[in-house]
């Protein structure tokens, strides 16, 4: 039998399992960003916008915008204390979420982003990688849900540097699903 027939039969066999209602939403989040092994940068607030797109009951993609304002840090060099401005990080990227549960959801996520790091003497764009765990639940208002996440953001270093920048992130957010379509 031809190969395409086997592929078609396999697709038909799993189609009831992957058939679902696709949703598109918009969400906001806020929280804190904690530098990991960065003596020249302190924790700071973060906020952003997410666009969750639920493709199947298990897999969602989530384009996002995030902004972090790093806190100022005091450094002592040769007995003199200097205050360095924190690193501001602006990111545009996409997460892939692997959803488990219905009303209450648990989801690991991974992502890729373009990060722009900026402060006096630093102005560069680098690739960033995200990963973490999230927890979400539906609110009494139809289409509205709340989320809590913990994760890490690793921004690759430029060729001239030997280290990357890393942050731990804790966020809370809400999202509203404004589009709902049944996928046959």
Question: Per-residue pLDDT averaged across 77-82, rounded?
Answer: 86
d(CA 85, CA 70): 8
Report the pLDDT value the prediction gives residue 183, as an integer from 0 to 100. 53
- Mean pLDDT, the chain, as a whole number? 86
Report the pLDDT value the prediction gives residue 170, as an integer from 0 to 100. 98
pLDDT of residue 166 exceeding 70, the answer is yes
Q: What pLDDT band is residue 180 in, cutting at 50, 70 and 90? A: confident
Report the pLDDT value the prediction gives residue 179, as an integer from 0 to 100. 83
pLDDT of residue 62 exceeding 90, the answer is yes
pLDDT of residue 184 exceeding 70, the answer is no
The answer to whether the beta carbons of residues 70 and 119 sit under 8 Å apart is yes
Fold of the domain built from segment(s) 2-179: Porin (2.40.160)
The answer to whether the beta carbons of residues 64 and 86 sit under 8 Å apart is no
Query: Domain boundaries in the chain?
Result: 2-179
- Residue 69 token pair: 């304002």
Q: What pLDDT band is residue 114 in, cutting at 50, 70 and 90? A: very high
Where is 17: in which H helix or E strand?
A: helix 3-18
- Cα dihedral 164, 165, 170, 172 sign: negative
Residue of 86, 106, 11, 95 whose CA lies nearest to 43: 86
Report the pLDDT value the prediction gives residue 36, as an integer from 0 to 100. 92
pLDDT of residue 16 exceeding 70, the answer is no
């Amino acid at each position: 039998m031809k190969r395409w027939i086997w592929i078609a039969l396999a697709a038909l066999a799993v189609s009831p399992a992957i058939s679902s209602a696709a949703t598109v939403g918009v969400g906001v989040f806020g929280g804190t960003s904690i530098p990991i092994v960065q003596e020249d940068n302190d924790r700071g607030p973060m906020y952003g916008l997410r666009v969750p797109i639920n493709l199947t009951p298990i897999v969602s993609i989530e384009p996002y915008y995030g902004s972090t304002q790093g806190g100022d840090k005091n450094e002592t060099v040769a007995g003199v204390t200097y205050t360095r401005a924190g690193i501001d990080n602006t990111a545009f990227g996409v997460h892939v979420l692997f959803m488990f549960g219905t009303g209450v959801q648990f989801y690991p996520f991974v992502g890729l982003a373009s990060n722009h790091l900026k402060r006096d003497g630093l102005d560069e764009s680098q690739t960033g990688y995200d990963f973490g765990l999230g927890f979400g639940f539906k609110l009494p208002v139809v289409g509205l849900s709340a989320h809590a996440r913990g994760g890490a953001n690793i921004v690759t270093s430029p060729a001239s540097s030997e280290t990357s920048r890393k942050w731990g992130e804790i966020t809370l957010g809400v999202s509203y699903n404004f589009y709902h379509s049944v996928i046959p």
